[in-house]
Structures are given as structure tokens and as C-alpha cells.
Amino acid sequence: AAGVIQSPRHLIKEKRETATLKCYPIPRHDTVYWYQQGPGQDPQFLISFYEKMQSDKGSIPDRFSAQQFSDYHSELNMSSLELGDSALYFCAIRGRRTGELFFGEGSRLTVL
Amino acid sequence: QKEVEQDPGPLSVPEGAIVSLNCTYSNSAFQYFMWYRQYSRKGPELLMYTYSSGNKEDGRFTAQVDKSSKYISLFIRDSQPSDSATYLCAMGNNAGNMLTFGGGTRLMVKP
């Protein structure tokens, strides 16, 4: 069955530091989506990639960047971290039906 | 006002009860509708997917969509303590796979 592996599962950083989150679709998948879920909030779309090119952009701060690599894994880079960046970050892959998304277990980022 | 509204709960019911979870939306462009279940500190797990108005049943779960009223529901029959989780409705249009989520309803099923 298809799935998504995310790493690290937990990450603690201090303000103004940089963090990188990784997403590995299993098997390789041409499209990945990144979502951010703050405490008690619903997931918010950040950015997506199709065939290693950015396809859509949501509410992603300028301090964040992402890319999809030749092996189809994706990384979300976050710089100048702020306390408000503390959240669960999910990577998702597309299912066969329109709009269907399957999420990974998420990476929990805590900014102190 | 958010595009998708969902009562945050918490909703507490006894084991065996029928649970009704609801979302309303304002964007008539939404064409497909999903319900996700999310356990604490876990990723959202797809429960139900519907594309048209009407009912869809899968085991103890029934999803209902009324596009004319912009209203969707998820019914859980014979609720179990293991159903205790946050339930998120999500919807999107044909332009892509960016989903718009409701805020989630926290459900607690007490033994």
C-alpha cells in the first residue's frame, strides 16, 4: 500500500534557527503536498510539487522553502524560526480519486 | 468567515450511540468531499470520500452530501471508544488537490 514516511518525527529548535523536514513517498510518487497544522487547528495547505516542479502555493511564509528531488522525496526548509511555527507538518500524496490525499504521520516541530 | 465551518465540540457520547458530525461550506465550487479521522499527534486518516450528493455507506460509517444546502454529514453507528478522535471534513474543487478543511470536531465515546 502507498504511504508517506516523514522525518524527523519530532524536532525541537530555538527561535531564529533553521529546520529541515523530509518526506519520502512510498513508492515514488510524482506529487507531494505539505500541510501545517497548528495546535487545535485544521491543516493548512503550504505548497505542492508535481514532477519536481512547484505546482501550487498556499499560505507558506517567505521564510519557508521546499523542493522535490530527482528521487521524488521532498524537503521543507524553514529559516528564522518563530514561536508560531510550532506545529505538526504533514506531507501528503495524491490518491487515485480527484482530491484524495493520504497523509504521513507528520513531523512535530517545537520552537522554543 | 471560513469557507468550511465545523462545530469543534467536544462531543461526548456513550458507547453504542449514533454520532452525527456536520460541516457547512460556502464555496459552491467544491465538488468532492472527504472525512478524515485524526488521533492525537497522528496524521489524518481518510475515512470517507464522496463526489456527489447523496449517501455513501462503509461499515458503521455513512457520509451524506447535500450540495444544494452546502451541508455534509458523517454518521457513525454503534460508536466505540476507539472512535474517539478528531474528525475533520475536507473538500476541494477540480482545480487541484488543495483541500480546505473544517476545524475538526473532537469526539469522545465513553465506555
Beta bridge partners of A24: A5
The per-residue pLDDT for A40 is: 86
Q: What is the mean pLDDT of residues B27-55?
A: 92
Residue-level pLDDT at A95: 85
Q: Which of A4, A100, A105 sits opposite B49 (nearest CB)?
A: A100
Residue A10 has pLDDT above 90, yes or no: yes
Residue among A43, A95, A102 whose CB faces B101 most closely: A43
Average pLDDT value for residue range B43-67: 93
Chain mean pLDDT for chain B: 93
With cut-offs at 50, 70 and 90, classify the pLDDT of residue A96.
Answer: confident
Q: Confidence class of residue A2 from pLDDT cuts 50, 70 and 90?
A: low
Chain A residues with CB under 8 Å of a chain B CB are: 4, 31, 33, 41-45, 48, 55-56, 58, 88, 90, 94-95, 97-106, 108
Question: Tell me: the pLDDT tens digits for B83-99?
Answer: 999 999 999 987 666 88
Closest residue of chain B to A57, computed from CA coordinates: B98
Q: Which three cell numbers stand for residue A28?
A: 515514488
Q: What is the pLDDT, as a whole number, of residue A99? A: 82
Residues on chain A touching B72 (C-beta within 8 angstroms): none
Query: Which amino acid does the sequence have at B49?
Result: Y
- The alpha carbon of residue B15 is apart from the nearest alpha carbon of chain A, in Å, by 25
User: What pLDDT score was predicted for residue B95?
Assistant: 67
What's the grid cell of residue B60? Answer: 458503521
Strand partners, A12: A110
Bridging pattern class, strands B105-110 and B11-14:
parallel
Asked if B45 reaches chain A (Cβ–Cβ under 8 Å), the answer is yes
- The partner residue sitting opposite A98, judged by closest CB among B32, B45, B90, is B32
Q: pLDDT tier at A1 (50, 70, 90 boundaries)? A: low
The DSSP symbol for B81 reads G
pLDDT tens, A27-86? 888 889 999 999 888 899 999 999 999 988 998 999 999 999 999 999 999 999 999 999
Question: Which region holds residue B16: left if phi is over 0, alpha if psi is between -120 and 50, else beta?
Answer: left
